[in-house]
Amino acid sequence: MSIQEQLDIYLRSRFTLIVLVTNEEERALEEIRQTCNKGGRLCVTWDLADGFQWGGNGSGNLPSAKDPLAALEQIDRWESQQSALFVLKDFHETWNNPQIKRKLRSLSQKLKYTKKSMLITSIHSKLPEELRDDAVLLTLALPNAPELQEVLEKLTATPGIPVQLTPLGREKLVQAAIGLTTAQAQRVFAKAIVTDGVLDDRDIDLVTEEKKQIIRESEALEFYSARESPEDVGGLGVLKDWLRLRERAFSREARDYGLPAPKGIALIGIPGTGKSLTAKMIGGLWRLPLLRLDVGALFGSLVGESEERARRALHLAETVAPCVVWIDEVEKALAHGGLDAGTSTRVFGTILTWMQEKTAPCFVVATANDISSLPPELLRKGRFDEIFFLDLPTAEERREIFEVHLRKRNRLPQDYDLAALVAASEGYVGSEIEQAVIDAMYIGFNDHNREFTTADILNALQHQVPLSVSQRETIEALRAWLKEGRAQSASFQSAGDAAAQAVRIQLEF
C-alpha cells in the first residue's frame, strides 16, 4: 500500500494525530499535497521560521503563530466547512515541553469530532509516552525503482543534457541507485552527467560508488565491493557446495519455481579459519551487494536513539535487497549485559525480531568465535538456514590455502614443495598460513630482493605459535560443541568425519 493510500485511510478514519517518519521532507510534503488534493482537503503547513503557509490549493489569509503553542491554539480555533490537514514540521523538537505535549494530547482528542487532523513530520519514530496512545506512526519508505526511474526521466528531460543510455543501462542505473533518497539520487545522477559530460552506461559504476559513500554515512552499514570467489578461499568444500546450490536463489526463476529466499547462515569456529573471507565470498559468488552491519555503531547516547538507528539500518538493508548482510563477530556486537540500562538488550531484540520476520531478500551472514557468549535464542531454528562450524584445516585444505596465497602474490604453487609445507603447517589456521607466506616474502625481500623459497616459509612457520597450541582449551571446547551435533561441519559431510578430524589433530598436539 502506498503512503498516499495509507494516509488517505487514516484521514478518512478521523485519525487526528499522525507522525510521519522521514528524512525526505520535500518528498513527504509532495505526497501529502497529492493526498489532500485527491481527497478535496485543505493542506496547511506550519514551521517555526515561516509560521502557517498554504500547502495545497487553499487561498486567503492565514492566522499568525510564531511559536508551537500558539500554532496549536490557532488550529483549535480554525473554522471551515472543508476538511483540513495541518502539517507541523519539526514538531518533534518540542517533545520535551510538558505544556505542548498536554496541548497536543488534548487537541488530538478534541479534533475527533471535527474535520481537522494534524500531521507531524519527524526524523525519528520515538514518541513521548503521553502521546503513544493518541498518535499513529507512518514511515515514508525510500523510493522504489519506478520512483527513481521518474527522477531520472525528469532530469534527462532537461534540454541540453546528453543521454546515451541503452534500455538495459537505464534499468541498471536505476537499480544501482536503489537505497538512496530522491534528493540523493538526483544529486548522483547530476554528478554522473557533469563528470564526463554525458549520461551513459559507464555511469553505473559511478552511481554505485556514490551509493557506498552515502550508505557509510548511515554509520552502522558499510558497503563492500565483494570480488572474492570460491577460488580465493581454500577448503570448506561442504560450505561452498551449499552456497553454490543457492547461487540462483534470488532470481525471478527461483521465485516462479516457488523457492523461498534463503534466510542466512551462522559461521562458528576457530579464529582465522576464513569466516569473514567467506562472507565476502558469498557476495562475490552471488553477485549481491555486501553490507557489513557494525552493531557497535548503532549505540547512541540519547534515549531510544540506539533502537532507532538499528531500525533505520535494517530498513536500509531491506531497501537495497536482495543483498548480503554481514554481522561480524556477533558475540561481541550483541553482548547484552545489564550495564547500559537495557539498551543493548533492546537493540539485540530488534535485530533478532528482524531476522525472524523479515520478508525482504536479505541473506544474513553472522560470524562468531566464542559460542559460549552467544544467547541461545540467536541460534535457534528459524533464524538461520544452517549453522556451519569452521575447524582447523585438513591437509588437503592447507594445500589449497597455500596455493591461494602463493597465486595471490603472483607466484606459481608448483615452484614450492607443497607437501613439506602442508606437513609443517599441521594445526595452523588459514590466517597463520597467509602470514607465514608474507613473512617469507620479507625474508627474501631483505636478502637482496631474492625470490623467497620453501625454506623461508618453513622458517616462518617454525617461528609462529599457532592458535591450536596457544588456545588449546578454547579450541577443544569449540570442537566439543560440534561433536554434540549443534552445527554442520564446513569441510565434512558427516559429523563422524568431523569428529575423526578433531580427534586426529588433538592426538598430534
Identify the CATH number of the domain in which residue 15 sits: 3.40.50.300
In the chain, helix, strand, coil percent, each to 5?
Answer: 50, 15, 35
Residues 38 and 130 in one domain: yes
> pLDDT grade, residue 454 (50/70/90)?
very high
d(CA 438, CA 478): 28
Instruction: Give domain status of residue 506, yes or no.
Output: no
Highest mean predicted confidence (pLDDT) among 109-113, 158-162, 173-177? 109-113
Identify the CATH number of the domain in which residue 422 sits: 1.10.8
- Cis amide leading into 322 (omega within 30): yes
Q: Which helix (H) or strand (E) holds 18?
A: strand 17-21
Residues 249 and 362 in one domain: yes
Q: Output DSSP code: residue 381.
A: B
d(CA 37, CA 142): 23
Instruction: Give domain status of residue 266, yes or no.
Output: yes
Q: Is 211 in contact with 177 (CB distance < 8 Å)?
A: yes
More confident position, 34 or 311: 34
Residues 135 and 177 in one domain: no
**How does pLDDT run across 39-55, given as a tens digit for each residue?**
999 999 999 999 999 98
Residue 216, CA atoms < 13 Å, CB-side half-sphere: 9
| 378-410 as b/e: b if 16+ CB within 10 A | bbeeebbbbbbbbbbbbeebbbbbbbbbbeeee
With 0-12 CB in 10 A as exposed, 13-18 as middle and 19+ as buried, what is 460? buried
Overall number of domains in the chain: 4
d(CA 216, CA 212): 6
Bridge partners, 44 (sequence order) = 54, 86
Instruction: Give domain status of residue 479, yes or no.
Output: no
d(CA 37, CA 51): 22
User: The domain containing residue 454 runs over which residues?
Assistant: 395-426+430-465
Using the 3D structure, point to which of 106, 139, 172 is the last residue of a domain.
139
**How does pLDDT run across 349-373, given as a tens digit for each residue?**
888 888 888 888 899 999 988 777 7
Grid cell, residue 279, equals: 562472507
Q: Is the pLDDT of residue 500 over 70?
A: no
Q: How many CB atoms lie within 10 A of CB 302?
A: 9
Entry pTM: 0.70
Q: Which helix (H) or strand (E) holds 52?
A: strand 51-54
Q: Is the pLDDT of residue 506 over 70?
A: no
